[in-house]
A and B are shown apart, each in its own frame.
Chain A
Amino acid sequence: MMSPSTSVIHRRRPRPPLDTTIHGQQMLSDPQFFAEQFLNSLQFSMLLFLLAIGLSVVFGLMDYLNLSHGTIYMFAAYVAFSIAQLGGSFWVALAVAPVVAAAVGVSLYFLLLKRAETGGHLTQVLLTVGVIYMGTDLIRIVYGDLPKGVPQPESLSSAVNLFGILYPAYRLFIIAIGLLVMIVLYFALERTRLGALVRAGVDDRATAETLGIDIGKVFALVFGIGTYLAGVAGVVAAPVFGVYPGMDVSIIILVLIVVVVGGLGSLKGVIVGSLLIGFADTFGKILLPQFAMMMIYLVMALVLIFRPSGLMPARRFSASG
């Protein structure tokens, strides 16, 4: 069932030129092309995942809507750019920039964001939009308005022959990092004490606190890990998408969509959400190039109509709304 407003739009929109659609479908029947796009979608999904997991758990644990999460991502990308300028290798950037990003993120949290913890979502939106504005302009003052490039690491600059398909090694590396983080997080959340504390906090914060768990400390740690992963995303995205002021805003909406589609506060939800949105975005651009932007929003609208709390939310958020 489609929302009536979208059907209004469908009727009023001009007919898409048929040849492009057929062209897109023909391309899809080419296995080489299909495999490439499949991997591209997977790679984009992994980036979304790295960003969304921090946002989702922070939202789940503290009910905090932190729109400035993307600013940390942008900041890490610029740190990676600076390291490259200073002659440091990509691997140095990957080791250093996320740590710097996490340090900045956690300081930002304790200095500024924490003060709006009890203020409700809208106060948090106002505060974090303020942080986005400040961050973007500070970046502009230091680095200027023009997009910058970060080189790929030498060792990953070639293409890999994957069952007869040539695919850039660097993009496979992004996929590998995403999968690695997923596995590590899964075991950390399911099998460690800290993971149990986080899950307890997300499911029922009040009870967890009554049992003597210091949710404030758990949260600070989770916030640090979340911003660290946003930093990783910023560094690995830099060679592919470039580094520019405003790269935070252009991705944060997609990340929010991932979080909402997947359902709040759960790792599974974020994985499912990022895969769905990553694939919808990439294949939407191929199948319906005119309406590529519409595709993800359509997916989100459909998911929320049938599952108003997202696909796989943590237990506390699974009640309607």
Chain B
Amino acid sequence: MASRAFVRRSIGLALIVGAVVAQSFAGFFTQELIAEAAILAIFALSLDLLATCGLISFGHAGLLGIGCYVFAGLTVLAGGSPNLAFPVAIVSGGAVAFMVGLFAVRTTGAFFIMVTLAVAEMLYAWGFRSKMFNGADGMGGIPRIDLTAVGIDLNNPGTFALTVIVVCAVIWLLLELVVASPFGRTLAAIRQNPSRVAALGGHVYFYRLAAFTASGMVAALAGAFKVQHINFISPDLVSWFVSGDVLIAVVIGGIGTLVGGPLGATLLVLLKETLSSNLGHWYLFLGMIFAFVALLMPKGIVGYLLDLNDRLAARKRPSECRQTERAT
């Protein structure tokens, strides 16, 4: 029977193949949807990376927003090249996450959730009033990265969607390597029992800080793609609804599984689109679906599948699978 890692990676691979195939047959509108899902998937990956060490952020839109505002600011306001603005946005996301993390990762659980919410809402409040970025009305005209030198035109919606899918896949593979590395194993150990890691001499604080910083970089990358995709920036991108959406995507998919985030993100985007274009009161149905997932699959879809796989394995070879328990 397949190992947990094998199941997770197969789901990830299936998602990538599915997205690429769907993208190549899709019309303009579906391509835009796929790009939206892929950007949310990157964002969800960043949240799940943080969840690896047991921290749940309810203000991740703030880090996404750093990517959005830095990219938009450098390109539109400063007239800089988008190719330069992109890496700067990512580094800024990491830097802000590092500075916030210095204080924030001292707390855990519900308190970490609220601290991150507070910081994100302060950025929202700033963006709401910012004259530079035209405040609540928002600002348009954000250019996309120029890759014409290598023959890629990102202004073509299909190419843009494909690029975001590829970037998402690369980030996913990188994070798979990270969680399998000693660093990632330590993060998982911190999630399971921070006191024991500390007793064994692990620097819980620094590992959490590093995870938060890395998560901030990935979130800012998603943000830089987000403003390129919708060509527009407004504080709505930083509101706690966005943080809630990505958290829900990760929980639906299965927290701590990495592929769960992208799967949940894809489902959420598709669900919202299908429900809202076919039903009047679609939030009622979305709410029902959330409730069903929460009650039937409390570990999310991927978590449910992994447990199912374990149960099947246990039926076949009871002695062997006990050792693979808890391998993320």
Task: Determine the chain A residues whose CB is within 8 A of the CB of B293 once the complex forms.
Answer: 126
On whether A137 and B284 interact (CB within 8 A), knowing A3-B103, A3-B119, A122-B56, the answer reads yes
Binary B-proximity of A135-170 (CB < 8 A = 1, otherwise 0)? 111101100000000000000000000000000000
Q: How distant is B224 from chain A, measured CB to nearest CB, in Å?
A: 18
**Whole-angstrom distance between the alpha carbons of A67 and B110 in the complex?**
13
Q: How distant is A60 from chain B, measured CB to nearest CB, in Å?
A: 11
Chain A, range 101-153, C-beta contacts under 8 Å to B: 112, 115-116, 119-127, 129-138, 140-141
Q: Which of A13, A59, A130, A141 contacts B126 (CB 8 A)?
A: A13
A297 at interface (Cβ–Cβ under 8 A)? yes
Interchain CB contact under 8 A, A304 and B129: no
On whether A126 and B110 interact (CB within 8 A), knowing A131-B287, A134-B287, A297-B121, the answer reads no
- How many A residues face the partner with a CB closer than 8 A? 55
Task: Determine the chain A residues whose CB is within 8 A of the CB of B125 once the complex forms.
Answer: 291, 293-294, 297
Interchain CB contact under 8 A, A129 and B244: yes
- How many B residues face the partner with a CB closer than 8 A? 51
User: Which stretch, B149-157, B246-254, B313-321, touches the partner chain A?
Assistant: B246-254
Task: Determine the chain B residues whose CB is within 8 A of the CB of A134 once the complex forms.
Answer: 283-284, 287-288, 291
Closest A residue to B290 using CB positions: A130
A230 at interface (Cβ–Cβ under 8 A)? no
Q: Which of B103, B107, B129, B291 contacts A14 (CB 8 A)?
A: B129
Interchain CB contact under 8 A, B126 and A256: no
A interface residues, Cβ below 8 angstroms from B? 3-6, 8-9, 12-14, 59, 65, 112, 115-116, 119-127, 129-138, 140-141, 253, 256-257, 260, 264, 290-291, 293-294, 297-298, 300-301, 304-305, 308-310, 320-321
Could you give 23 example pairs across A and B, Cβ below 8 Å?
A3-B99, A5-B99, A5-B123, A14-B129, A14-B130, A121-B56, A121-B110, A122-B56, A125-B251, A126-B290, A129-B244, A130-B288, A130-B294, A133-B287, A134-B284, A256-B114, A297-B117, A300-B114, A304-B111, A309-B111, A320-B106, A320-B107, A321-B107
